[in-house]
Structures are given as C-alpha cells and as structure tokens.
C-alpha cells in the first residue's frame, strides 16, 4: 500500500473508511475531507454485478446531470452545410469536415468531445485509430452520431456524462466539483445511479449495485450504502 502524505492522513483522521454511510452523509464527509486548494472534481465509483467480458453485460451510456459537471467541455462537430451552422449556433467550439480531419491527422487534439452527422462517419472513420484510444470517436450508442447536432451540443455543454463499465465491473465518473453544494452533488449522483439501474442487463444475476464510493479527486474514498441509494432513486 503506498505511503500517504501528511495532509491525506490528516483528512482521514477520525474517519472509518470501512463502513458505508448514507448518501447525504457520505457526500458531506467527502467534501469535508478535501485538503487541496484547487477545485477538484467530485468522483463516484460504482461496482456492478456484471461480467463485462460478455457483450450482453456491457453497461455503457450517457446521462445529463441536473447540475452539470462544473467543467468546461470543448466540443468538436464533424458536419457540413446547414448542420454546420446549427452546431455553431448551439455553441460548438470547432465545426467543420475535411479540414478538421486533416488537423487531427497532424496531431491536433485540443477538444474533449466529438459529434458527427451520420453522413460524415465514412470520413471520420479514417481517423478512428487516432480518436478511439482517446475516447473521442463519435458513437451512435452515446448519441454522438446524429443529425440533431444542436440538441446534443447543448446537452454536452450543460453536463452530459458518458460512462462505461471497466474490466473489473466498475463505472467511474465525475459528478460535479468540490465547490458544489452537497445538495447538488447528491442530486447529480441520484440521476447517475438512476440511469445505471435502468441499464441493468437481463443476464445479470444476483446483486446489481454492489458498492458505491465517492470522493474528491485527491481525497479519501468514502463508501456509500448502495441499498439506501437505490431506495432514494426509487422514491425520487
């Protein structure tokens, strides 16, 4: 186990990191345990009862958080004609077609999310090997291959979060900033968990929500009771 710094040890003093807290208390503890001066992301890790090696148990989607992520997202849209105009009016940072593809081929990656109209995917596919490893490839399952570019640009700018389960069956995501109030973070988490519950694979057996941990980026992980969170989602 890596040796922790003095500030981290001070942050966890008096905390029991082995027991799960109710969501509201867990979020409050995680925020109080923050010890850095910058505005860290507020993160969540959700352990699911799925086996991602099976295609029918891959949990992947996106969700629009009610209070956003607090992060400025640079959006690039591959489009032509009127869809190019629509994307610019919606607030996309970069819009174009062949010229953007050539810039990316030359090593330019100063953007965070991409959207493409379906008619552009043939050309975008040519740089798939460059975009894919960086999780920048437009994806129909995530709604980023669409003619409705204005709506999707707006959602991403407002705080739409993409997520997917990893090989260990865990979903990691940022659900706000440490400068957010506890109430906003709790509401974002409930929206996030609600979406995950909706995506439960029919082939997944046993307990689906097995564990939830919340933290600021540098802070300690605080366990949250998944049964209580499920109940909150159900009653929301």
Rounded to an integer, what distance in angstroms lies between the CA atom of residue 21 and that of residue 81?
Answer: 53
pTM: 0.86
User: Looking at residue 91, what DSSP letter applies?
Assistant: T
User: What pLDDT shows up at residue 3?
Assistant: 67
User: What pLDDT shows up at residue 236?
Assistant: 74
Q: Classify strands 94-96 and 75-78 as parallel, antiparallel or unpaired.
A: parallel
Residue where the block lists tokens 């190019």: 84
User: What pLDDT shows up at residue 10?
Assistant: 66
> Thinking of the domain 75-158, which architecture would CATH place it in?
3-Layer(aba) Sandwich (3.40)
User: What pLDDT shows up at residue 1?
Assistant: 47
CATH 3.30.190.20 domain position(s) in the chain: 6-69+160-235
pLDDT mean values, one per 10 residues, the chain (236 residues): 67 78 96 91 97 93 94 96 97 97 96 97 96 95 95 94 95 97 98 97 93 95 96 90
Residue where the block lists tokens 């409050």: 28
Rounded to an integer, what distance in angstroms lies between the CA atom of residue 130 and that of residue 104?
Answer: 8
Q: What is the CATH number of domain 6-69+160-235?
A: 3.30.190.20
Retrieve residue 157's tokens.
Answer: 């700018």
Rounded to an integer, what distance in angstroms lies between the CA atom of residue 71 and that of residue 154?
Answer: 14
CATH 3.40.50.790 domain position(s) in the chain: 75-158
Rounded to an integer, what distance in angstroms lies between the CA atom of residue 60 and that of residue 163?
Answer: 6
């Amino acid at each position: 186990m890596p040796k922790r710094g003095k500030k981290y040890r001070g942050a966890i003093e008096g905390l029991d990191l082995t027991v799960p807290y109710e969501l509201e208390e867990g979020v409050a503890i995680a925020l109080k345990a923050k010890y850095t001066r910058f505005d860290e992301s507020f993160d969540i890790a959700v352990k699911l009862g799925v086996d991602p090696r099976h295609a029918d148990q891959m949990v992947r989607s996106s969700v629009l958080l009610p209070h956003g992520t607090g992060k400025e997202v640079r959006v690039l849209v591959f489009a032509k004609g009127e869809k190019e105009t629509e994307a610019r009016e919606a607030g996309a940072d970069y819009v174009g077609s062949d010229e953007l593809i050539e810039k990316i081929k030359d090593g330019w990656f100063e953007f965070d999310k991409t959207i493409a109209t379906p008619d552009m995917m043939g050309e975008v596919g040519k740089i798939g090997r460059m975009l894919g490893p960086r999780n920048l490839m437009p994806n129909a399952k995530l709604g980023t291959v669409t003619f409705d570019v204005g709506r999707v640009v707006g959602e991403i700018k407002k705080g739409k979060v993409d997520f997917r389960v990893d090989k260990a069956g865990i979903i990691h995501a940022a659900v706000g900033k440490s400068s957010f109030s506890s109430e906003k973070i709790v509401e974002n988490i409930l929206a996030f968990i609600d979406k995950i519950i909706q995506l439960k694979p029919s082939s997944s057996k046993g307990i689906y929500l097995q564990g939830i941990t919340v933290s600021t980026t540098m802070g300690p992980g605080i366990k949250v009771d998944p049964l209580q969170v499920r109940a909150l989602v159900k009653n929301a």
